[in-house]
Amino acid sequence: MRIAGVFAWAFIAVISSKESSAAASLLEATRSIGAPVGFVSACHRYSWLCSNNSGREMSDAEALPLLKRVNGHVNATVTSADDVAVYGKQDFWSLPTNGRGDCEDYALQKKKDLIDAGFRSDHLAMTVVLDRNGRNHAVLLARLKGGDYVLDNLSNGVRSWESTGYTFLARQSFENQRMWKVILAGPRARQFQGA
């Protein structure tokens, strides 16, 4: 996924924001930010992506196995391919096409599958991170009572955000799924803190 150009907004906005505190393993947002262009386009095509009106409350004991099942299934059935190879253009957010897609496509499929299984849509957020090697990456964040968990195409395990080794930059708002918020947490977060 070539996020550098599309997510330059995240780096610029994050530089002046203060570090968020992650109380009780929740990734708290500091302020609103414009949504990525690819997300805005996908939001128009997929009504479920930006809707807060679906799903039911689940206990963590019920939700975690569902998250693991969906994460494993999508990772096993989608083949990684960049947007140019699949769609003929860069930074196109879509459900996987012909079983192929890049990181945000995996995350979109997982969000759709979880909503279809009854998971609350306002407990799921598309999220932009830097991976352990400092590369831009997109994952799905699921908010449970016990904290925020990451569904990732680079791992079949569903892990708490703290255990990923990722630096979290921005996420879809849980309160208003059309909006995005700055989050700043993880090992490289200090690189983006206020000058």
Per-residue pLDDT, averaged over 138-157, amounts to 97
Average pLDDT over residues 157-161: 95
Both tokens assigned to 94: 């879509």
Residue 1 in domain: no
Q: How far apart are CA 69 and CA 30, in angstroms?
A: 31
pLDDT-based confidence at residue 191 (cuts at 50, 70, 90)? confident
Per the domain annotation, does 3 fall within a domain? Answer: no
Q: Which of 147, 65, 81, 139 is nearest to 109 (CA)?
A: 139
Average pLDDT over residues 56-79: 97
* Helices and strands, counts by H and E, the chain: 5, 9
User: Which run of H or E residues covers position 169?
Assistant: strand 167-172
In a domain, 14, yes or no: yes
In the chain, the percentage of residues whose pLDDT exceeds 90 is 81
Residue 70 lies in a domain: yes
Evaluate whether residue 135 is within a structural domain. yes
Tokens standing for residue 155: 């791992």
Its domain, for residue 148, covers: 8-192
- Dist CA 164 CA 39 (whole Å): 23
pLDDT computed for residue 19 by the predictor = 33
In a domain, 136, yes or no: yes
- Distance CA(43)–CA(59), nearest Å, equals 28
- Residue from 162, 152, 167 nearest 103 by CA: 152
pLDDT category of residue 106 using cuts at 50, 70 and 90:
very high
**Residue 26's pLDDT band (boundaries 50, 70, 90)?**
very high
| Mean of pLDDT values over 137-149 | 97
pLDDT band at 1 (very low <50, low <70, confident <90, very high): low
Report the b/e string of 155-168 with b at 16+ CB within 10 A. eeebeebbebebbb
- The 10s digit of each residue's pLDDT in 2-18 is 444 444 434 433 333 33
SS3 42: helix
Number of domains in the chain: 1
Q: Is residue 2 part of a domain?
A: no
Mean pLDDT to the nearest integer, 139-168: 96
Does residue 120 form part of some domain?
yes
Predicted confidence at residue 12, as pLDDT, reads 35
CATH number at residue 167: 3.10.620
